Amino acid sequence: MSKIHMEFILDNNNENKENSNNISFPTSISFQDPIILDDSIEEPPKLPEDFKVDETDSKILASIYQKDEVYPNFSTPKGLALIINNREFAHSQYNPRMGTEVDESNIRKLLVKLGYQVERTHHNLSAGSMLRTAQIFAANELHRNFDSCVVVVLTHGQYDHFIGSDGEAANVHDFLACFNASNAKFLKGKPKLFFFQACRGDSHDYGTDATDIGKISSLFSCMRSSPPRLQRNFNNNTNNNFESSLFPSPPPSTSSSSSSSSTTFPIATSIRFNGITAASRGGLKREKRPTEGDMVIAFATTPRYVSWRNSNSGSWFIQSICEIFGKFAATEDIGSLLIKVNKRVADAYQSSNAGQKQIPEFVIRLQKKFYFFPGIKAEHFQQS
């Protein structure tokens, strides 16, 4: 019988738990044993070993590629891909991540079929080694020859931290900073895609009633509209500490965060070019781009929540990525693909423990649309 697991972290930082009277979060449940999959809960079939990725043809390419609006992604390979897979953990607080080897195999097959050169997987890295591996990969000079790159992390996690195999935490923002325009010069201006399969807390999503509220709302269309909800909160409820309750402070850094502080990451600051202006240089205009741009970060779940993984078929998130990308990457951009992944995880999966749900989250910092263009190579593009 297959087993479902949470990418579960027992959060001891109780002082950072939700404690507001104004906003409620699902109750956290702490347990160490895996959840047995109830046979009455139907789960989508396991991804086939030989799953296919549809390819972009010249007709599709001509219809969607516009140089000023779409990133080029035609190099051979498309780019380098890094996979970090933590299965075993030294600290007894963190269970082995059963089924993560399925995720690793599936995502590797997908990336190869999409046209990426996937490096050897880095297994069971400590928190510090995860950051160092990211730095080394980001600095690889081979990136200069390719159009994009992909990074996949499979591990335990909490809020904005990954958990290393040593049980210590690596800050997600420090990890991402390794790939920004200041630290990864060969990736500057190129799309960088990140897929993070990890918990981001220990709250559980028990779902909500899916009644079609659109039909219900039409019954009240003749009624006078009321002020926006947020406006009512601010104007009429002086005790509602909106900012502090909705945007709680992040958990304090663990020992690994302090130990990795020796690595210098850029701070968001205003930069001046020693007084150089267009007027002082006869009309010369210095063009600048955001340091943290050209990234897509896809998380398996939303902040504060657990994510789910099956010991036989892998995590809901990675399996959905492989299914959706395989079917639609030939014609749709990354934003559309990730929306489909969100819907797939939300609609197709449900845990055997109280029918719990999950919704992924993604952040897009791109300045153009990004397509994988599977099957299209530079020479094909030139011929077309």
Distance CA 309, CA 347 (A): 16
Where would I find the H helices in the chain? 58-64, 100-114, 127-138, 172-177, 213-217, 229-236, 242-246, 255-259, 316-328, 334-348, 378-383
Contact 37, 4 (CB under 8 A): yes
DSSP for 55-67 reads ---HHHHHHH--T
Q: Is 156 a catalytic residue?
A: yes
Q: What is the DSSP pairing of strand 148-154 with strand 79-85?
A: parallel
Among residues 5, 156, 161, 204, the one annotated as catalytic is 156
Does the annotation mark 199 as catalytic? yes
Could you give phi then psi for residue 153, rounded to 5 degrees? -125, 125
Q: How far is the CA of 371 from the CAs of 107, 171, 375, in angstroms?
A: 17, 29, 12
Of 161, 199, 204, 322, catalytic: 199
Helix axes 334-348, 316-328, angle to 10 degrees: 130
Residues known to be catalytic: 156, 199
